[in-house]
Amino acid sequence: MSLARDIMTISAVSAGVFFFLAGTAGLLRFPDTLTRLHALTKADNLGLGLVVLGLLPQAGSLREGLKLVSIWLLVLLAGATVSQLIARTARQGETAK
Partner 1 sequence: MTEFLTAAVGFILALLALGLVSILRGPGDTDRMMAAQLIGTGGIAALLLVGTVTGVSAAVDVALTLALLATFASIAFVKKGLSSLETHGTGSTENHK
Partner 2 sequence: MNIATIFEVVLAAVVLGLGIWTIAVRETYSATVGFVAYGLLVALIWVRLDAVDVALTEAAIGGGLGGVLLLGAAARLRDAEPTVAEAPGMVTRVSAAALSALTAAALAGAIVFLPDPAPTLAPTVVAHASATSLANPVTNVLMAFRAMDTMLEKVVLLLAIIGVWSLAPDNAWGGHPGPRHQADPDGILVFLARLLPPVGIVVAIYIFWTGANHPGGAFQGGAILASMWVLAIMAGLTDTPSIGRRWLRFVLVAGPGLFLLVGLGGLWFGTAFLAYPPALAKPLILGIEVAMILTIAATLGLLLAGAPERSVK
Nearest to 71 by CA among 93, 92, 51, 91: 51
What is the footprint of partner 2 within residues 53-92 (CB under 8 A)? 74, 77-78, 81, 84-85
Q: Does 14 bind partner 1 (CB under 8 A)?
A: yes
What is the footprint of partner 1 within residues 56-85 (CB under 8 A)? 58, 60, 64, 67-68, 70-71, 74-75, 77-79, 81-83, 85
Distance in angstroms (rounded) separating the CA atoms of residues 51 and 57: 11
Number of H helices, E strands in the chain: 4, 0
Nearest to 79 by CA among 42, 54, 52: 42
Distance in angstroms (rounded) separating the CA atoms of residues 48 and 66: 15
Chain residues in the site for partner 1 (CB under 8 A): 6, 9-10, 13-14, 16-17, 20-21, 23-24, 27-28, 33, 36-37, 40, 43-44, 47-48, 51-52, 55, 58, 60, 64, 67-68, 70-71, 74-75, 77-79, 81-83, 85-86, 89-90, 92-93, 96
